[in-house]
Homo-oligomer: A and B are copies of this chain.
Amino acid sequence: MSRRRWAEIVIVGNEILSGHVLDTNSRWLSQRLIRMGVSVRRHVTVPDCENAIASEVSAALSRSPDLLITAGGLGPTDDDRTLMGVANALGRPLVRNETALSLVLQRYRQLYQEGAVDSPDMTPAREKMTILPDGAIPLPNTVGTAPGVWIVSGPTAIVCLPGVPAELKDIFINALPALLRAHLGVGYYAERHYEVICKDESVLAPIIKEVVQAHPGVYLKSRVRPFGTAFRIRLLLSCVSESPFEADESLRRTVDDLILRLEPAGILLIPACGEEE
């Protein structure tokens, strides 16, 4: 049995903790990662505070995930402190990164030509975005201005992304795939969605428990709908594996078993679509 790849996500932002902004980045990143065969084991949101970021990153690194993604706190304002926290956790100095400098200069030149900013020149606030932990690789941001950051520390690749969702997605989709594949290798993921006609999750619970115990490589989760609005319970089966065939095969065997055990209880398993939110 091969090694399971896993990741942690650290979100930085007072505006999330105060409830002013809904964090959608954790979910988006988790959806992308699981499809690459990487399970996410932890989401955490901390304030825009260097010490909180540093201690969270240190704690994550001590668990040796394959991947640690931070989102938020890369911009030009004084409360953008993620890279200070990361540098502190790594015990590395923050240094002027020449590649980041040319990315930021080039970006402001372009924004100036588009009329989006009043000057293409460096200012202290813009320069802040070119100061990265020693050994970091900057990742181009074609939506905003702050480059993303890639740093490898022991077994863990640390990726720092901006908190603005459009910028985070841009960097993840355009700048990261090759680096991630080189660091993580290739993994596969398969999932199937079902609904069961069953009034009450407590009737289903013992059957699901049996199936989960019989198929440890497959994740099986039931999700209740409020009583009175629907009599259907959603079931998700998923599997991460080294080969696409193996992932599908594990799910097929589990579904066959589930059908066999639901039949005597008179419960019908119905295929469902994946999206429901």
A residues whose Cβ falls under 8 Å from a Cβ of B = 11, 14-24, 26-34, 39-47, 52, 75-79, 111, 114, 116-118, 123-126, 143-145, 164, 166-167, 199-206, 208-209, 212, 219, 221-224, 226-228, 236, 238, 277
Contacts and interface: CB of A to CB of B under 8 A. Distances in A.
Contacts of A126: 202
Interface centre among A15, A47, A221, A228, by most chain B C-beta atoms within 10 angstroms, is A221
A23 B23 contact: yes
A42 B42 contact: no
Nearest to A104: B202
Given A22-B24, A277-B21, A199 B118 contact: yes
21 contacts: A14-B219, A16-B27, A17-B41, A18-B40, A18-B238, A19-B30, A19-B40, A20-B236, A23-B23, A41-B47, A44-B45, A76-B202, A77-B204, A79-B212, A116-B200, A117-B199, A125-B206, A126-B202, A144-B226, A145-B227, A164-B226
Tell me if A's interface is mostly helix, strand, loop or mixed. mixed
A226 B42 contact: no
A178 to B, nearest CB: 22
A203 B46 CA distance: 26
| Oligomer: number of copies | 2
Contacts of A226: 143-144, 164, 166-167
Nearest to A201: B76
Max count, chain B CB within 10 A of own CB: residue among A77, A117, A204:
A77
Contacts of A17: 30, 39-43
A212 to B, nearest CB: 7
8 pairs of A and B residues whose beta carbons are closest in the complex: A19-B30, A19-B31, A125-B202, A76-B202, A43-B45, A125-B205, A78-B209, A44-B44
Given A27-B22, A39-B18, A224 B117 contact: no
Given A21-B277, A34-B19, A206-B124, A75 B224 contact: yes
A109 B20 CA distance: 40
Contacts of A30: 16-19
A265 to B, nearest CB: 11
